């Protein structure tokens, strides 16, 4: 630093310290502002839910608040509330118990054996994951509905079958729909890359010692892969309370309620039971308070290393078993993707779903009616608006938050990270309920309720935990020298961020954009309490059309097909063009 003539010798050091002091205070102010804004939309709504459980006023939406314990007393006298929590854990346990071992075997087969077309098969599991749960569930209803489900109708034609063998409206049907939805594909997506990163020399040593392929897998591969397996299990632990639409479609008609569907049922009745709904939500928060530390303990209790400087890649040749495995996985992929999509298409053209004996059995009238319906067109516009808004704004927001966490030394970074992680455990229906209270009780925000702006806030911030942590991983990998060079050349922070970091982050941003587009286009539980007739989305429309009280299965199939085309189509196109960005290897 050049000292001004006549200034005291200590002046330069004093000016430097003043600059550092001002910079640290500026960072603290920005960090405080970020935590306050995120906490207001992520944490404060959840606290409002807990607070409202003690509001015993006759009408909680208007009039003064009356505080007391009556809601809790009445709630514990209702066996349905506790039973719904037990049902939630029951469904989660059955789904994980079936899908987890199946996904582990599939991921091991795709990553560690010489099965043909392994990368193509892995891509198809991605396609299965992108298919919205509401669409696949309606597809399986078309196949396994007790009276007119196509599979039941075909089996009933056999001489030795007198009654429909399957009933999708049951606990078994709910579990099946979840497993065939993304129960398997989600885990295969996460586990396959981890299995590929395992050192083949460890398995070779076991086989040289005389161990068979199965024994090697059980005694060597599985213990060494404990870390990613525990990670996936921990992520599934946080998803206990996340599902909604499958249980609403398949469980509500037979009075099988989980936590989210019972909250929805209590609020959407002719006389809303807000007190009991908030008590159930509060009980869920208490359970989540134990689940979050448990999953963190499971995740961090041990570390395993599978890649070292002596890493040796390699694949196991199963001989004829390669083609047997290929056939089994292809059959499963048909059940995951082709079967529900095919039934949605067939059902959408049928005069009446499941009745092939009518004359005519097929018609175009349902498509003509839906595509010209103003309610459908409005729902399509709302869905597209939400999906593209989430696809473009969410990745930028996640990248900025990740930059703050990784590239700054501002105080409060740990608090910000805890806010982001903690909010991930809040289920969609609970988050939507909290935002409902937030908009209704916060002065100046009531105008947002029922508007598309409320839904935009929800879809932008969903997926924040995964998005921020994926962006953090990229920032950690890339050195600071390029940003420092830009600063030396005179570029400010804004220009350096969008000229240096955004191009380097582009592949990750494209992936996050695709995921957030998919989430927003198929969002149901997180927005259903905030949407109005003017802001209905395609997923909510499909849910209502397929409800037993309406039962327009043909129209529901058409809406589901449109959602699949939107999510899978845009995702595949974005993936293709996204590979052109970022760092290239010549």
Residue 119 lies in a domain: yes
- Cα–Cα separations (whole angstroms), residue 420 to 179, 362, 416, 417, 435: 28, 50, 6, 5, 17
Whole-structure pTM value: 0.78
Residue 61 lies in a domain: no
Read off the CATH number of the domain in which 103 is found. Answer: 1.10.3720.10
Partners of 362 in the β-ladder:
350
- Residue 578, pLDDT above cutoff 70: no
Cis peptide before 360 (omega within 30 of 0): yes
Residue 321 lies in a domain: yes
Residue 363 lies in a domain: no
**How many residues in total does the chain contain?**
586
**DSSP 8-state symbol, 351:** S
> Residue 16 has what pLDDT?
43
Structural domains in the chain (count): 1
Q: How confident is the model at residue 382 (pLDDT cuts 50, 70, 90)?
A: very high
Contacts with 468 (C-beta within 8 Å, 6 or more apart), sequence order: 398, 401, 402, 405, 420
Rounded to whole angstroms, how far apart are CA atoms 10 and 65?
Answer: 62
Q: Note the pLDDT tens digit of each residue in 162-189.
A: 888 889 999 999 999 999 988 898 888 8
The answer to whether 276 and 71 have CB atoms below 8 angstroms apart is: yes
Rounded to whole angstroms, how far apart are CA atoms 348 and 367?
Answer: 7
Q: What SS3 state is found at 212?
A: coil
Residue 356 lies in a domain: no
**DSSP 8-state symbol, 170:** S
Q: Is 305 left (phi over 0), alpha (psi -120 to 50) or beta?
A: beta
Partners of 113 in the β-ladder:
316
> Residue 306 has what pLDDT?
42
Q: What SS3 state is found at 69?
A: coil
Over residues 339-351, mean pLDDT:
90
Residue 79 lies in a domain: no
Rounded to whole angstroms, how far apart are CA atoms 520 and 35?
Answer: 24
Determine whether 523 is exposed, middle or buried from the number of CB atoms within 10 Å of its CB (0-12, 13-18, 19+): buried
Q: Note the pLDDT tens digit of each residue in 403-433.
A: 888 878 888 888 888 788 777 667 777 788 8
> Residue 231 has what pLDDT?
66
- CB neighbourhood size of 224 (10 A): 18
b/e 444-464 (16+ beta carbons within 10 angstroms → b):
eeeebbbebebbbbbbbbbbb
Rounded to whole angstroms, how far apart are CA atoms 586 and 584?
Answer: 6
The answer to whether 143 and 340 have CB atoms below 8 angstroms apart is: yes
Determine whether 13 is exposed, middle or buried from the number of CB atoms within 10 Å of its CB (0-12, 13-18, 19+): exposed
Residue 24 lies in a domain: no
Question: Could you tell me what percent of the chain has a pLDDT over 90?
Answer: 15
Residue 366 lies in a domain: no
- Residue 217, pLDDT above cutoff 60: yes
Over residues 131-141, mean pLDDT:
89
> Residue 10 has what pLDDT?
46
- Residue 573, pLDDT above cutoff 90: no
Residue 443, domain extent = 29-51+86-199+226-303+312-348+371-578
Between 337 and 266, the higher pLDDT residue = 337
Over residues 92-111, mean pLDDT:
89
């Amino acid at each position: 630093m050049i000292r001004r003539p006549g200034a005291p010798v200590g002046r330069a050091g004093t000016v430097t310290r003043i600059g550092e002091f001002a910079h640290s205070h500026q960072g603290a102010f920005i960090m405080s502002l970020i935590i306050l804004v995120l906490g207001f939309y992520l944490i404060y709504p959840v606290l409002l839910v807990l607070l409202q459980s003690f509001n015993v006023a006759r009408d909680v939406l208007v009039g003064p608040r009356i505080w007391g314990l009556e809601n809790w007393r009445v709630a514990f006298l209702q066996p349905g509330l506790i039973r719904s929590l037990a049902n939630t854990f029951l469904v989660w346990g059955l789904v994980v118990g079936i899908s987890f071992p199946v996904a582990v075997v599939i991921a091991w087969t795709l990553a560690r054996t010489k099965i043909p077309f392994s990368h193509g098969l892995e891509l198809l599991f991605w396609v299965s994951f992108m298919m919205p749960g509401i669409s696949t569930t309606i597809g399986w209803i078309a196949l396994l509905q007790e009276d007119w489900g196509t599979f039941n109708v075909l089996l009933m034609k056999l001489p030795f079958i007198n009654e429909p063998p399957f009933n999708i409206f049951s606990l078994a049907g709910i579990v099946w729909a979840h497993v065939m939805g993304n129960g398997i594909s989600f885990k295969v997506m996460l586990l396959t890359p981890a299995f590929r990163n395992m050192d083949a020399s460890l398995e070779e040593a076991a086989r040289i010692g005389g161990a068979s392929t199965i024994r090697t897998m059980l005694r060597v591969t599985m213990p060494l892969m404990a870390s990613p397996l525990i990670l996936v299990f921990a992520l599934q632990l946080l998803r206990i309370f996340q599902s909604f639409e499958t249980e609403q479609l398949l469980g509500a008609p037979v009075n099988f309620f989980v936590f989210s569907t019972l909250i929805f049922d209590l609020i959407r009745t002719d006389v809303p039971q807000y007190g009991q709904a908030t008590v159930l939500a509060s009980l869920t928060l208490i359970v989540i308070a134990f689940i979050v530390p448990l999953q963190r303990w499971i995740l961090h209790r041990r570390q395993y290393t599978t890649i070292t400087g002596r890493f040796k890649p390699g694949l196991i040749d199963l001989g004829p078993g390669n083609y047997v495995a290929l056939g089994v996985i292809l059959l499963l992929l048909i059940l995951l993707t082709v079967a529900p999509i095919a039934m949605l298409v067939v059902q959408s053209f049928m005069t009446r779903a499941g009745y092939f004996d009518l004359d005519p059995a097929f018609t175009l009238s349902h498509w003509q009616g839906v595509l010209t319906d103003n309610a459908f067109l409005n729902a399509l516009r709302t869905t597209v608006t939400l999906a593209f808004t989430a696809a473009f704004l969410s990745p930028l927001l996640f990248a900025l938050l990740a930059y703050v966490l990784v590239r700054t030394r501002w105080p409060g970074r740990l608090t910000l990270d805890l806010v982001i992680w903690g909010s991930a455990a809040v289920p969609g229906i609970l988050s939507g309920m909290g935002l409902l209270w937030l908009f209704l009780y916060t002065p100046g925000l009531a105008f947002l309720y029922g508007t598309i702006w409320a839904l935009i806030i929800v879809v932008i911030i969903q997926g924040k935990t995964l998005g921020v942590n994926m962006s953090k991983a990229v920032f950690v990998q890339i050195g600071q020298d390029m940003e420092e060079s830009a600063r030396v050349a005179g570029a400010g922070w804004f220009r350096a961020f969008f000229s240096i970091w955004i191009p380097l982050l582009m592949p990750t941003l494209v992936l996050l954009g695709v995921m957030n587009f998919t989430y927003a286009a198929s969002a149901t539980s997180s927005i259903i309490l905030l949407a109005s007739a003017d802001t209905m989305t395609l997923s909510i429309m499909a849910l209502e059309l397929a409800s037993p009280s309406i039962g327009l299965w043909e129209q529901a199939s058409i809406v589901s097909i449109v959602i699949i085309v939107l999510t899978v189509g845009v995702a595949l196109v974005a993936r293709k063009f996204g590979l052109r960005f970022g760092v290239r290897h010549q």
